[in-house]
Structure 1
Amino acid sequence: MASITASASGIRGACLARPRPAGLVASTPCACLAVPRPGMAKQRPAIGIHALNFESPLASSMRAVPVPEEGPKKSAMVETLLLGSLFGLWYLFNIWFNIYNKQVLKTFPHPLTITAFQFFIGSLVSLTMWTLGLHKKPQASTENVMGVSPLAAVHTLGNALTNISLGAVAVSFTHTIKALEPFFSVLLSAMFLGESPTLPVVLSLFPIIGGVALASTSELSFTWVGFLAAMGSNLTFQSRNVLSKKFMGKGKGSLDNINLFSIITILSFFILTPIALLLEGVTFTPAALTAAGVLNHTLLLKRAVIAALCFHAYQQVSYMILQRVSPVTHSIGNCVKRVVVIVASVFVFQNPVTTQNALGTAIALAGVFGYSQVKRLSGKPKAA
C-alpha cells in the first residue's frame, strides 16, 4: 500500500514538474492524473469551464434580440389621456362661461363693459403667467405688435358682438347661428386668400344654411339684435382667421400661439375700454349697480370673474389643442362643443324648444360635421 502511495506521489510530482504549453487553459486537468482506482466505475472525461459556457446559435440569437420597451406605448397613452383631458376642459370651461356670462348679462345688460372686464381679467392672467415663469415671455418686436393689432381689433369686435347676442337671445340660439362659421370661412378665404372651394365643400354648406334658417324661423327668443350680432361675430371671427393666416405667413418671430393670444387679449382690453366707457358710461360701480337694480353686488362680481376666467381659459385650452391636432380635428371638436353647450344651456335655463327649432339646430350641426369631413378628405393626398 505504501508503494502505491509513493508511486502516485512520484507521478503527481512529475506531472507538476512538466512544463505546460503556453496556450493551454490553466484549469484543464492533466491527463496523467487520470489514474484508475480500484473498485471505481469508469469516469467520464472531464469538461473544461469554457465548455460549460457554450451557447447554441439559437440561444445566442435569442440573447442578441433586445426586449421591446414599453416606453413608446406609455408615451402615446399619456399623450392620448392629455389630449382627452384638454378636450374635456375645453368643453367644461365653455359651458361655465356661457352659463355665468348669461346670468351676468341678464342682471347687468351692458355687454361692452362685460367684454372689457373679461379682457382685463385675461390680461391679468397672461401677465401673471409670464411673471411666474409658467410660460416663456414673448420677445415681441414693434413690427409684430403692429401686425397683431388688426387681429386684436377683429377679436375685440367678435367677442363684443357675441356678448351682445348672448344678452339678447337664448344661448342655444346664439350658438346655432354661430354654426354658420364655415360659410363665412369659405366666403372670406375665396375673397382674400384666393382659395376656391371644391364642389363637395359648397354642397356641404347647404345643410348648415338650411338648418340655421329653419331654427331661426321657429326661435321663440328671436330678436334682430341677437341674430345680427351673432352673424356679425361669425364674420369678424372668420376675418380674424384669415388675417391670422396672413400674419403667420409673414413669420411671427418669437410668438407662439399662447403668447399671440395673450398679446391679442391685452391689446383688446385697451381697444375696447374707451369705447365701452364712451357708449355705456361708468356702469361697473356700486352706485351704478344699485341704480340699475342690482341688489347683490358681490354675487354679480363673483359670476363676472368666473365667466371672465372661463372665457380666457377655454380660449387658451383651444390653442393648446390646436397645437396637438390638425385644424380639421379641431373643427370637429368645435362642432361637438357647440352641441354640448346648446344642450347644457337648455337644461340650465329651461328654454322652451320647439320641434322645428330642435330639428333646424340638428341639421345645422350635422352640416358642420359634414363640412369638416369633406375638408378632411379633400386634404388627403391622392393615391398615384
Structure 2
Amino acid sequence: MVQPINLDGRVNNNDKFALKSGASSEAISTRGGAGGIDIPLMLYFVFWYVGNYYYNITNKLALRAAGGSAGFPMTISALQLGVGCIYALFMWVAPDAREKPSVTVDDIIKMLPVAFCFMGAHSASVFALSAGAVSFGQIVKAAEPAFSAVLSQFVYKRPVSKAKWACLPIVIGGVILASVKELDFAVSALVSACIANLFAAFKGNENKKLMETEGLKDRMGSVGNQFALTTILGFLMSIPVVLFKEGAKMGQFVEIFKTNPVVSANLIASGLWFYGYNELATMTLKKTGAVTQSVANTAKRVIVIVGVAIFLGESLDPIKLLGCSIGIGGVLLYSVIDQLLAGKK
C-alpha cells in the first residue's frame, strides 16, 4: 500500500484509519459467502473508501510542500492524471491484464466533452484543496446535486422532481452553516469547489449522452477502459492549462520535485490513489442500485471529511460538524427521495 509521507519526510505508519479499514476487509474475508454476502462488492467498497481517504491526504501533503495555492496546484493536478495514464497504458500492454478498447476516431471525438469536464472538475478540486482545508472543500463539493439539478432542468431539459428541488435548500443551508466557523475559509477555495461542482455536473450529463452512442460500450470493452480513455484525454487537455497558469515557473517545480521527496512521493502516490479509487468507485456503482449508491457516497464523504481532518489537524468545530451533517444528510435525501415517494405510492 502506498503510504503518505509527512512534511518532515517520514512515512506515516500509525494511521489508525488504515488499520481499521484493513481489519474490516479481513473480517469480510473471514465471513466467507455466508448469507449470500457479495464479498467482492464489499471489498470494492472498502478499497474505494481507503483509496479516497489516502488520495486526499497525499494530495494535500504534496500541495502543502509545493507552496499551497501559490505553488503548483495545476501542475500537480495534471501530473496526477499523468500517473493514471501510465498505469492505464501499462494495463493494456501487460500480458493478460486488460483487453485494449477498439474505439473509433468518432468515438474519441464524442468523448472529448466528458474528458474536458473531468479534467476541469479535477483541476478545480485540487486548487480548492490547496487553498483551504480538505474538510471544507469536501463539504462544498457535497453541494454538487444543486448544480446538477439546475443543469438537468434548464440546460439538458431533463426535469427534476419537486421533491428533489425541496431537498436543495437543506444541502445549501448545511454548506453555509459549515462555512460560518471555518478557520481555513478562503474565497478562492469556495469558488474553486463550486467550479468543480459545475464541471462535475456537466460531466454527469455529458456522460449520459455519450453512453447513448450505439455500440460504444461494446467497443470500449469495460468500465476500466472507459475511465482510462477519459483520464488520458483529460491529461492531454490539462497540458495547455498548466503551461498557461504555471508554465513560467516550471523550472522551479522541476527543482522542487527532484529535491523534495515530500512533493515527489506524495504526488505519485496521490496519482495512483486517485486513479485507483475512481475506477473502483465506477465498478462498485455499476454493481449496485440507486439507493445503495447514495448511501455509499454519503458514507464515503463523511469518512473522508472526518478522517482527513483528524489526520491533518484541521478544525472540527461543532458548528462545522453540524453544517456538514445537515448538508450531507440533504444530499442523501436528495438522492433517494424519488424512490422513497415511489415506494409509498
After TM superposition, the score normalised by the length of structure 1 is 0.75
Match of 2:239 in 1: 273
Q: Is 1:241–2:204 an aligned residue pair?
A: yes
CA–CA separation in structure 1 for the residues paired with 2:44 and 2:85: 22
1:88 partner letter:
V
Does the Cα contact within 8 Å between 1:176 and 1:212 map onto a contact in 2? Answer: yes
CA–CA separation in structure 2 for the residues paired with 1:249 and 1:304: 36
Match of 1:259 in 2: 225
1:105 partner letter:
L
Q: Is 1:160–2:123 an aligned residue pair?
A: yes
Match of 1:343 in 2: 306
Higher helix share: 2
Match of 1:192 in 2: 155
Q: Is 1:118–2:80 an aligned residue pair?
A: yes
CA–CA separation in structure 2 for the residues paired with 1:216 and 1:75: 44
Moved segments of 4+, more than 3 Å: 74-79, 282-285, 287-290
Structure 1 counterpart of 2:135, from 172, 177, 190 = 172
Match of 1:15 in 2: none
1:335 partner letter:
T
1:278-319: CA deviation from partner (whole Å, max 9, x where unpaired): 32026566x6455x6x89523321111111100000101011
After TM superposition, the score normalised by the length of structure 2 is 0.83
**Cα shift at 1:258:** 1.8
Say which SS state the counterpart of residue 281 (structure 1) adopts: helix
Whose relative contact order is higher, 1 or 2, with alpha carbons under 8 Å and at least 6 apart? Answer: 2
Match of 1:83 in 2: 41
**Cα shift at 1:92:** 0.2
Match of 1:127 in 2: 89
**Cα shift at 1:82:** 1.0
Query: Map of 1:17-32 to 2, 5 A cutoff?
Result: none
Query: Map of 1:1-384 to 2, 5 A cutoff?
Result: 80-108=38-66, 109-132=71-94, 133-251=96-214, 252-253=216-217, 254-255=219-220, 256-281=222-247, 288=253, 290=255, 296-377=259-340
CA–CA separation in structure 2 for the residues paired with 1:83 and 1:77: 14
User: Which structure has the larger Rg?
Assistant: 1
Give aligned pairs, total. Answer: 306
**Cα shift at 1:107:** 1.2
**Alignment gaps of 5+ in structure 1:** 1-73
CA–CA separation in structure 1 for the residues paired with 2:271 and 2:156: 33
Question: Relative to 1, partners in 2 of residues 1:85 and 1:279: Cα closer, same or farther, differing over 3 Å?
Answer: same
Does the Cα contact within 8 Å between 1:282 and 1:288 map onto a contact in 2? Answer: no
Match of 2:24 in 1: none
RMSD between aligned alpha carbons? Answer: 2.1
1:145 partner letter:
I
Say which SS state the counterpart of residue 182 (structure 2) adopts: coil
Does the Cα contact within 8 Å between 1:289 and 1:297 map onto a contact in 2? Answer: no
Identity of aligned residues (%): 29
